[in-house]
Structure 1
Amino acid sequence: MPHSSTPAQYILILIDMVENQGHNRDQLLRGTTLADTGISGIGARVEAAEFNRLVTNALVLSGDPSLGLQLGMRLNLSAHALLGQAFMTCKNMKEVMGLFIKYYHLLAPALNLEFDIQPDRSTLTTRVRSEDLPIEFSYELIYAGILNTLRGLLNLDKIELRIELPYSAPGHVGKYFDLFGDDIQFDCAQGRVSFDSAMLEIPLPDSNPALRSLYEEECARLLADLEEKDSISEQSLRLLRKLEGQYPKMPQIASMLNLSSRTYRRRLERESLSYQRLLDQVRAEHATRHLQHTELPLSTIAYMVGFNDASNFRRAYARWTGSTPSEVRN
Structure 2
Amino acid sequence: MQATVAASLISALLDYLQTQGLKRSTLLQQAGLDSAALALPQRTIEAVHYERLLAAGIAHLHNPLLGLEFGTTAQPERWGRLGFLLRHSATLGEALSYQARFAHLVNSIGEGRFVERSDDVAIEWHSADVVMPAVIEEAFAAWLCFARWASGRNESPQCVEFSHRAQGDPAIYREFFQCDVRFSCTTSQLCFDPGLLELPLHGADAQLTAYVSAEFDQKARRAPSLETLRQLQAWLLATLCAPPPTLTDAAEALQINDRTLQHRLQTQNTTFRQSLDNARHTLALRLLVDAGLSIGDISHRLGFSEQSAFQRAFKRWTGVTPLAWRRMRYERTGLLNE
Normalised TM-score (structure 1): 0.64
Partner Cα separation in structure 1 for residue 20 and residue 201 of structure 2: 36
The match for 1:146 among 143, 146, 152 is 143
The aligned runs of 1:204-215 (5 Å cut-off) are 204-215=201-212
Say whether 1:220 aligns with 2:217: yes
Structure 1 SS opposite 2:73: coil
Q: State the 1:193 CA deviation.
A: 0.7
CA contact 1:165–1:190 (8 Å) conserved in 2: yes
Instruction: Tell me how far apart the structure 1 counterparts of residues 255 and 59 of structure 2 sit (CA, whole Å).
Output: 39
- Tell me the C-alpha RMSD between the 2 structures: 2.9
Aligned to 1:96: 95
Alpha-carbon separation, structure 1, partners of 2:12 and 2:175: 22
Counterpart among 170, 174, 189 of residue 173 in structure 1: 170
Q: Helix, strand or coil: the match of 1:30? A: helix
Mapped to 2, the partners of 1:42 and 1:16 lie a distance apart of 14
Distance 2:168 2:88 in 1: 40
Question: What is residue 267 of structure 1 aligned with on the other side?
Answer: 254
Deviates more, 1:169-178 or 1:196-205: 169-178
Number of paired residues? 240
Q: State the shift of 1:10 in Å.
A: 1.4
Q: Distance in 1 between matches of 2:223 and 2:71?
A: 23
How far did residue 152 of structure 1 move? 1.5
Return the offset for 1:51.
Answer: 1.7
SS of equivalent to 1:205:
coil
Paired amino acid for 2:167? P
| CA gap 1:78/1:9 in 2 versus in 1, 3 angstroms | same
Structure 1 residues 206 and 17: alpha-carbon distance in aligned structure 2, compared to 1, 3 A threshold: closer
Contact persistence 1:162–1:184 (CA under 8 A) = yes
Of structures 1 and 2, the one scoring higher in RCO (CA 8 A, sep 6+) is 1
Q: Find the residue that maps to 2:77 and give its secondary structure.
A: coil
Q: 1:189/1:232 Cα in 2 relative to 1: closer, same or farther (>3 Å)?
A: farther
Matched, 1:9 2:8: yes
User: How many Å apart are 1:68 and its aligned residue?
Assistant: 0.4
Cα-to-partner distance string for 1:281-326 (whole Å, 9 max, x where unaligned): xxxxxxxxxxxxxxxxxxxxxxxxxxxxxxxxxxxxxxxxxxxxxx
Higher Cα Rg, which structure: 2
Aligned equivalent of 1:188, options 185, 210, 219: 185
C-alpha distance in 2, partners of 1:12/1:181?
29
| CA spacing shift, 1:196–1:67, aligned 2, 3 Å | same
Counterpart of 1:81? Answer: 80
Deviation at 1:103, TM superposition (A): 0.5
Note the C-alpha offset of 1:150. Answer: 0.5
Q: Percent identity of the aligned residues?
A: 20
Unaligned runs of 5+ in 1: 235-261, 270-330
Distance, in Å, in 1 between the alignment partners of 2:190 and 2:215 is 28
Residue of structure 2 in register with 1:315 after alignment: none
